[in-house]
Amino acid sequence: MTVDRTFVVVEGTVKMAKDCIRLRRPTEDDVEKFLAWSHDEELGDLTGWEYPDEEEKIRDWLFNKTHNRDRRFLVIEYNAHPIGDIELCNIAWRSGHAELKVCIAEKQYWNKGLGTRAINMVLEEAFEHLGLEEVYLRVYGKNQRAVRAYGKVGFTIKGFLRRKDPDWQEIWLMSLTKARFREMKRQASA
């Protein structure tokens, strides 16, 4: 485990030593990946947000994401290749709440459990080192791949955002408390 000034960067392995997932701070070398991901319409449709679409804007965006006291933004790396990003944002230090955002941008890594593993790593950090009490998220109801990943970790549905507008996508609100996360970990290790 290596430590940087704002977030413990953790590594986890499963099955074989070469099967390594790592969370790390973004570097200049990641700009090209984020630029490529910014042009993927399917990612934007599933996540509801888009990466900046110009190189200089991506640099500024990454700088702002990594130099903000109320967020922890990390690149998900699998076998030494960036495959997406994960973020705790809107951290409310006094109440102990934060929002989770995650994107496995490299589609060949979808449905492999890597998002779930990255989420678990970030939640471990959030609850055991940052002292947070609850992590929440918003996800499009149509993104069942993400809903399943969140459910595996222990997130539960708290509500829905709906509109009568047929072009508007339903948003599911999910959350996970520190107590539930610890209970899920205890059950998994039993």
Residues in the chain: 190
Of 88 and 61, the structure prediction assigns the larger pLDDT to 88
Measured distance CA(92)–CA(110) in Å, rounded: 31
pLDDT digits (tens, 9 = 90+) for 10-57: 444 333 334 689 999 999 899 888 888 887 888 777 776 667 778 888
Angle at the Cα of 177 (from 110 to 159), degrees rounded to 5?
70
Residue-wise pLDDT for 87-108, tens only, equals: 999 999 999 999 999 999 999 9
Four-CA torsion 176, 178, 181, 186, nearest 10 degrees: -160
Record the pTM: 0.83
Average pLDDT over residues 75-88: 94
pLDDT recorded at residue 49: 65
Query: For the residues 67-91, what does the mean pLDDT come to?
Result: 94
**CA nearest neighbour of 84 among 97, 99, 74, 92:** 74
Domains annotated for the chain, with CATH where assigned, are: 2-134 (3.40.630.30)
- Do the beta carbons of residue 155 and residue 174 sit within 8 Å? yes
CB atoms near residue 176 (< 10 Å): 22
